[in-house]
Amino acid sequence: MIVDKQIVAILRGITPPESVEQVACLLDHGITTVEITTNSPDWAISLKRVRSAFGSRVQQGAGTVLTPDHVETCAAAGAEFILTPNLDSRVVEAAKRHGLRVCAGVFTASEIFTACELGVEVLKIFPAAALPLNYPQIIKGPLSSAAMFSAVGGVDVNNAAEYLRYYDSVGIGSSLYRPGQPVSLTAERCQILLNAGK
């Protein structure tokens, strides 16, 4: 059964005027963790609007965080965590200084071990579709401490439940939300996701 904290809704391309109504729709369907990416129009404004509208009801993060400057903006805009497509120690260290949790993009064993050494809270396997579904199970053996794994890249509303057999969470982007789509379509896609997990 899929539960809300296992799903990160990736809102790539969302604009400030639609951010609140789209997040409200996700909340109505039990999805409480959202990611607004830095390559979205006026992304910091969207983060602020969502924080103002929903407060602690939403776990809000910024995605595609590539630089320490991005981290500064994330912190000021009310993000609680950051997500990166790659592993960059400068970005991880900047996030730590601001008290932000880090979900860092990794792929290889070397990147995974380095991320753990840097204190990354969640290992974002990206692109997850390029690896076997049970990749976390395979790689966990040599790790000296417990690690959280999130699958991103190739995860959609239809196959999320399969990934959640092996991953702690999944990030779902365009199969859940595309820029400009009506809230009614977001609701339909949320329902497909929730039904697929039953």
Catalytic residues: 35, 124
CA distance 48 to 36: 11
CA distance 148 to 136: 9
Name the residue among 7, 108, 124 with its Cα closest to residue 64.
124
C-alpha distance from residue 88 to each of 37, 47, 143, 176 (Å): 17, 23, 20, 28
